Structure 1
């Protein structure tokens, strides 16, 4: 897989004439060189349903009069650039109007994506219809006819559908469309059948050719869905609705799967389909650096003008980022991440229990946990229940993880190996919610009726000292066990805000009376009695973050693999290059600001001065140097701790620890 990819959208209406009239091999190649691009995903078929090459399996765009796909492949290959090819799988507006009976339907016969045919937009196909045969021929034609370097199939995944084809099939299986569990099995079967057929079609012609099925999200806990792909492309446009939290969460999970993967951002100010919108070059520099710091390759989304000419401003912008990536690739190949902490994803745990997390609005728990871990500069992975936990020191159970038998078995083995647990909220409880399955220093009583309630720690926070700190999310009533160590108490408000009992503008203050345990430590780990990760995701309270960090530092017992004085918005990772006998410490810094209506923008990236890092390394270190500059840093190695200071850097810096 290449490091510097462009994903070149080309969804082009039949109402536009002169398609590709301005295409020039020399101009196309020139822009790829300007952008330092080594792979570009180009279009066979777009969401409008048109092909951009002569075809018998589809219909060429009515205003295209030459083989644009073939010309792009020839031009790219001539200068050593790979060309994966895109086909819109789930959307095909040309066929949607001819065969609306092939579209996904809900129980009320309403169609998907766009509500009707009187509103501009696309409509999504069910893969349990004859459309799958049509798509198969389209994919087969491209793979046979062209020297493609991969296939990218878009807008696919497990989809709910009650079209008449699905209704007929479930009845033929002896079931009923009103049986939701059987319908869920059917939808899973439909996607598996689609993915297997696409893969078999491609690999029958070109064995081993990369194939990716894009659903815009890699489900944590669904390794079966991940492994229908040859690699992963993590679609995560920070300004397009994903935000800057999304990619680290997805990447820290993807890096545990043993698959090659890339991070896909965009050159757009907002998102896909935006013509004339551009990010600041610093944003792309940061976003691509974030990919390689997390063990990923890079992809940047663009959209080709209908005339076929590549946009000079776009490829100058992309080149700002990819010129730096190109210089750094040597230290980013064949890496594995070092991690002290495993964050057990709530999404993954829900899949394990047979609950679809997409319908549960549970993303705040994982998101808040990743924010705290990034800002606290911990080394961590996001894991599912198939992960090997033995290499971690602490497992986090964020807010909403009930302890099923399979989870209990896995965590019991982890604890027996010397690991510790941090559980919060309802996590750690048995599925029936009657008690804790591990020794966390507390006994469970019930859900607190007070919201918000308050936490008074028995320790002093670094920034805020001691107080009664408001906790906005649901809390649990607990009391300490005989040998539990109480780390803080819970306090209730005078009353919940109601018609005749309200106080001030938001909520009632603490009554300053101890009401059970807010935080405690037992033999197996630490428990915090609120959904603190949800709280941090939605409110961002400094107190909540420092409370969590205190618990993690206590559990790690001053045994962290990396310590740094990076600011909170800084990000650090430690990647192992085993074949080169070295570790690579990545440090990143940017501070997104909000502009417009919820758009996060990176523009200014100030330099950081005298960043200190200490890394635990028992083996003798030969050299510590900055990459790609190849400038040695002075360092000390005492009692298994390597310490160095980076005098000045901005955006992204790699420090190589050579053994």
Structure 2
């Protein structure tokens, strides 16, 4: 898998004339060179349903007069640029008007993405209808007729569908379409059948050709779905609704699956489908650096003008980032992460398999990742199938209810000396009436007061001792064999029409209402949904309380650094090269407009100190790609060094004996 990819959209209405008129082989090649691009995903079929090449399985765009797909493949291959081919699988607006009976319907018979036909937008097909046969023929045609380096199939996934075909399928099987579980199960079977048929069709022509099925999100805990792909493409456009916290969460899980993967961002100021929108070059520099710092290759989204002319401003923008990536690739291949902490994803242990649109902010997973990044804790995101024994601490964030299988895995982990940080409802049994694992506390019920207050029995790093308001759901617990590290305080009353105080909530009644943070032989329990609270509110007291607990459990941390809170640090090992690579990044996203985060200024940092405790002796350290030697200090089994200047991204390479 190549490092410097472009994903080139071309969703082009039949109402636009002169499709591809300005396409030039030379100009196309010049732009790829300007962008330092080594792979470009180009299009066979767009969301509007048109093909961009001669076809018998589809219809060529009515305003296109030549084989645009073939011309692009020829031009790219001539300069050693790979060409995966894009096919819109879930959307085909041309065909929706002819066969609306093949579309996904909700229980009220509404379509999606757009809920009717009198609004602009696309409508999604059900893959349990005859449409699947048409799609398979379109895929076979491209694979047979073109030298594609892979197939990218878009807008697919497990869906709930109440179309006439799905309803009849359930009834024919003796099932009730009003039973939601039956509908979800049919969605699972439909998607598995689709993926299987795609793989069989491709392998009959070009065995092993790479395939990726894009649903916009790699679902944590669904290894079966990930395994239907040859590799993973982690769609994560920071300005397009994903934000800058999303990619580290997605990538830290993907790396544990043992598959090749890339991080997909965009050149747009906002998101897909934006013409004339550009982000600052420093933003793409940071986003591509973030990808390689997390073991991923890079992909940048673009959209071609209908007349086929590649935009010079876009490829200069992309090139500014990719020229840097090209210099760094040697230290980013075949790496594995070094981590002290495993974050057990709430999404990965959710009992409901139904696919929902990913909540990209405000979740327990997202809040936990933000705290870990700011706290400079080395971490992976895991599911229940990962080997946890290599981690010093496993975090059970907020909502990890423990079934018997998970309890057994945790007890085995405890027996080998592992510790957990459990928060909120995490650790409770499936019945919700007590703890399934020993956390030094007995459960008494949910706290009826919200918000409530935490008074730590320790000093926070930045604040004097106080009763700190926590807005999330809390639990009432009592000690069994644990030690209280802080207690709960309830307000005088909840805010109500007849009992309210001040502008927001009632103050603490200043009484000890039981333990709020408890340390036991198996770890630390914190009685609130602190990670969801941090994702929503971002309170300093939340973060510093959690980091106190983690640092107490991590008695022998692998990494410590003076990098500020907004910086990101990762540590990768390249076993084949006998070296570690420490990535340091720093940029500060700012809010522009309504909820759009942008990076513009890169402020350099100086004299960033890093200390590592490694299991191998270090013989040499240097800055990459500059190849400048870096002095190291060794003491008490640790190696320390100072990075003289960090501007956006810096790698420190440590060669071992």
TM over 0.5: yes
Residue by residue, what CA displacement relative to the aligned partner does 1:309-341 show, whole Å, maximum 9, x if unpaired? 000000000000000000000000000001110
Q: Secondary structure at the match of 1:191?
A: helix
The separation in 2 between residues aligned to 1:209 and 1:648, in whole angstroms, is 43
1:275-334 deviation digits (Å, cap 9, x = unpaired): 000000000000000000000000000000001000000000000000000000000000
Write the deviation string for residues 217-276 of structure 1: whole angstroms up to 9, x where unpaired: 000000000000000000000000111111111000000000000000000000000000
Q: Is the 8 A contact 1:619 1:640 kept in 2?
A: no
2:87 counterpart SS class: strand
Unaligned runs of 5+ in 1: none
Q: Partner of 2:534 in structure 1?
A: 536
Q: Residues 357, 657 of structure 1: CA spacing in aligned structure 2 closer, same or farther, 3 A cutoff?
A: same
Secondary structure (helix, strand or coil) at the match of 1:403 reads coil
Instruction: For residue 407 of structure 1, give the secondary structure of its aligned residue in structure 2.
Output: helix
Residue aligning to 2:368: 369
| Aligned-residue offset at 1:180 | 2.0
- In the alignment, what sits opposite 2:478? 479
Residue 649 of structure 1: which of 611, 628, 646 is its match? Answer: 646
Q: Per the alignment, in what secondary structure is the counterpart of residue 28 of structure 1?
A: helix
Residue in 2 that maps onto 1:568: 565
| Counterpart mapping for 1:136-535 below 5 A | 136-350=136-350, 353-354=351-352, 356=354, 358=356, 364-481=363-480, 483-535=481-533
User: For 1:525-563, what per-residue CA distance to the aligned partner results, in whole angstroms no more than 9, with x for missing partners?
Assistant: 100110000110000000100000000011112x11110
Quote the offset at 1:379 in angstroms. 0.6
The answer on whether the counterparts of 1:40 and 1:81 sit within 8 Å (CA) in structure 2 is yes
* Residues 358-367 or 251-260, more deviating: 358-367
1:320-372 deviation per Cα after TM superposition (whole angstroms, max 9, x unaligned): 0000000000000000001110000000010xx34547389696110000000
Once residues 71 and 316 of structure 2 are traced to their aligned partners in structure 1, the CA distance between those partners, rounded to angstroms, is 22
Instruction: Give the equivalent residue in structure 2 for 1:606.
Output: 603
Residues 355, 511 of structure 1: CA spacing in aligned structure 2 closer, same or farther, 3 A cutoff? farther
Corresponding residue of 1:72: 72
- SS of the aligned residue for 1:69 comes to helix
Task: Report the RMSD for the aligned CA atoms in angstroms.
Answer: 1.1
CA distance in 1, matches of 2:602, 2:482: 46
CA contact 1:347–1:363 (8 Å) conserved in 2: no
Pick closer, same or farther for the CA change 1:355–1:155 going to 2, 3 Å: closer
In structure 1, what is the Cα distance between the partners aligned to 2:563 and 2:417? 30
* Aligned counterparts of 1:138 and 1:147: Cα–Cα separation in 2: 15
Q: Residues 90 and 156 of structure 1 are in contact (CA less than 8 Å); yes or no, is this contact kept in structure 2? A: yes
CA distance in 1, matches of 2:185, 2:619: 56
Structure 2 Cα separation of the partners of residues 356 and 637 of structure 1 = 52
Contact kept? 2:160, 2:354, Cα under 8 Å? no
Q: Superposition pairs for residues 4-15 of structure 1, below 5 Å?
A: 4-15=4-15
Q: 2: CA distance between counterparts of 1:520 and 1:616?
A: 28
**Is the 8 Å Cα contact of residues 362 and 536 (structure 2) preserved in structure 1?**
no
Count of residues paired in the alignment: 655
Whether the 8 Å contact between 2:362 and 2:535 is mirrored in structure 1 is no
Q: Which of 544, 547, 550 is the equivalent residue of 1:549?
A: 547
SS at 2:192's partner residue?
Answer: helix
Instruction: Supply the distance in 1 between the matched residues of 2:256 and 2:362 (Cα, whole angstroms).
Output: 20
Q: Is residue 50 of structure 2 the alignment partner of residue 50 of structure 1? A: yes
TM-score scaled by length of structure 2: 0.99
Structure 2 distance, partners of 1:649, 1:422, is 33
Distance in 1 of aligned mates of 2:171 and 2:116: 28
